[in-house]
Amino acid sequence: MTGSPKDIETSGLAAADIDAAVEWLVRLQGQAVSEQDWLAFDAWLTASPVHAQAYDAALAFDQRLELDVRTHGENQEAPADHLGATIVPFRRPTRRVWLWSTGGALAAAAVAGAIAWSSGSLLGTHETTYVTGVGERRTIALEDGSRVELNAASRMTVRFERGARRVKLDDAQAFFDVAKDARRPFLIQAGDTGVRVVGTQFDVRHRDGQVAVAVQRGVVEVRPKQASGKTPFRLTAGQGIAHVEGQADDAQVSTVAVEDVTGWRQGRLVYRDRPLSEIAGDLNRLFPRPVKLADEQAANMRLSGVLIVDGQDAMVDRLSNLLPVRTTTTDDAIVIRAR
């Protein structure tokens, strides 16, 4: 066996922090865990850097314990660690819980149940790339129980590891419904921005050098790269953050209408004071015939309104009614210019 409670203690962490981390690990693996439990855990985790270190250490020990079980078998006598504490298996029908003693106090570490970790594919590292074409949306069921709705003309790479679920969004927009797994956080990289969650629902847009995150349920931690030395932004339901890549210092948490941000899932595009250049980019992801802006004046025009996604010509006609522009349609393109 490679891990023991002493491995955690020698990291300089206090026993009380270790015990609290292990208690959270067990609590979050329980069948009765609630949304309030997850919010309380997030508050505890972010209250001090030491809490995050203790949780990561307990999680790492738990995973080494799981690996030892798989390597040496479940029915062998559990070894004593070099502090003299015995690791005792406690059998239940659907999960295995291990107890160890540290300084006379009992701490419990949950080892994955049969539902999540019996699959051999989850124990190894593997990577899958998902791509949608122009005008194509796709719903993806990931093997951990998470679901992703990928918007048109998007590219997403998913990498499962033993200690983390990692997603990379290139030019993409996606809505995530992440399955809760305290043992493996869900980590998203979108341009210069990292997003960390355990289980929640939220939208991430990485388009044209801009990143935006909007939360529908739960808590999401957002850390732009340029703000790496600062406390991450914590978003709860109804909050969002957006910034231009490379200009994260100006990013601020704001109240957002999530139903507007995610309107693309129901076939409508909702804009609040957005430039026509962004709207043209969205149209070009929906239809093969390109929309081109003939002049800078047109590109900089701003729109607040709703566009129903139906035919391309109909959508462009609505734009010409909402903005002072005129359009020219050819077989190869639709050109929009200022009046």
**pLDDT tens column, 120-159:** 343 457 899 999 999 999 999 999 999 999 999 999 999 9
pLDDT (average), residues 23-30: 76
The pLDDT of residue 227: 52
Binned at pLDDT 50, 70 and 90, residue 229 comes out as: low
The pLDDT of residue 4: 44
Rounded CA-CA distance 218/176 in Å is 12
Rounded CA-CA distance 34/39 in Å is 9
**pLDDT tens column, 279-296:** 999 999 999 999 999 999
Rounded CA-CA distance 30/200 in Å is 17
Binned at pLDDT 50, 70 and 90, residue 66 comes out as: low
Q: In one letter, which amino acid is 25? A: L
Rounded CA-CA distance 53/50 in Å is 5
> Can you name the CATH fold of 267-338?
Phage tail protein beta-alpha-beta fold (3.55.50)
Binned at pLDDT 50, 70 and 90, residue 213 comes out as: very high
Judged by phi (left if over 0) then psi (alpha if -120 to 50, else beta), residue 219 lies in beta
Choice between 132 and 69, residue whose per-residue pLDDT is larger? 132
pLDDT (average), residues 94-122: 33
Q: In one letter, which amino acid is 301? A: M
**pLDDT tens column, 313-336:** 999 999 988 999 999 988 899 999
Is it the case that residue 50 has pLDDT exceeding 90? no
293-297 long-range Cβ contacts below 8 angstroms, 24+ apart: 293/335, 293/336, 293/337, 294/335, 294/336, 294/337, 294/338, 295/337, 295/338, 297/338
Q: Is 215 helix (H, G, I), strand (E, B) or coil?
A: strand
Domain limits of the chain?
A: 5-114, 120-260, 267-338
Rounded CA-CA distance 46/179 in Å is 21
> Can you name the CATH fold of 120-260?
Jelly Rolls (2.60.120)
Q: Is 152 helix (H, G, I), strand (E, B) or coil?
A: coil
Judged by phi (left if over 0) then psi (alpha if -120 to 50, else beta), residue 220 lies in beta
> What element of type H or E holds 111?
strand 105-111
Rounded CA-CA distance 40/231 in Å is 18
Q: How many CA atoms lie within 13 A of 215 on its CB side?
A: 23
Cα angle 287-290-293, degrees, rounded to a multiple of 5: 130
The pLDDT of residue 71: 57
Both tokens of 43, joined, read 């508050």
Is it the case that residue 73 has pLDDT exceeding 80? no
The pLDDT of residue 215: 96
Sign of the dihedral through C-alpha 285, 288, 289, 294: positive
pLDDT (average), residues 75-101: 35
Name the least confident of 33-37, 156-160, 304-308: 33-37
Name the least confident of 40-54, 103-117, 120-134, 145-159: 103-117
pTM, 2 dp: 0.68
Both tokens of 18, joined, read 């270790």
The pLDDT of residue 72: 56
Contact, 172 vs 193, CB < 8 A?
no
**pLDDT tens column, 239-281:** 999 999 988 777 889 999 999 999 999 999 999 999 999 999 9
Q: Can 120-260 and 267-338 be said to share one CATH topology?
A: no
Both tokens of 7, joined, read 């491995």
The pLDDT of residue 11: 56
